[in-house]
Structure 1
Amino acid sequence: MNEHIKDRGTKKWTSIMLPEHVKALKQLLADERKEQKPLLDEQHLIEWIEN
């Protein structure tokens, strides 16, 4: 069989989700995309200031 299934991904589920859940998922995705700042120890800070 050569059936083509057209999947709409998450769009098909948003109609049955509460708006609060949709908002929470969007926030979760945004948080995952943020780049965390590296933690620098005292030695690295001194080297960075001197250069």
Structure 2
Amino acid sequence: MADYYNTVVMPARVRTPKDKASVEGSVNAISTRIIAALRSTHCFSIDELNEEV
């Protein structure tokens, strides 16, 4: 899946889960911006939604 999206999977460090909070915060900020930008858009298929995103 990581190859398909051209990303790298990096697990959190062992016994120091300090990375998890910052990653979750970033995901929350990005998803909020995407949802806010698309709030007035009506999509009837996943393909339409992917185009809009």
* TM-score (normalizing by structure 2): 0.33
Structure with max Cα Rg: 1
The higher-RCO structure (CA 8 Å, 6+ apart) is 2
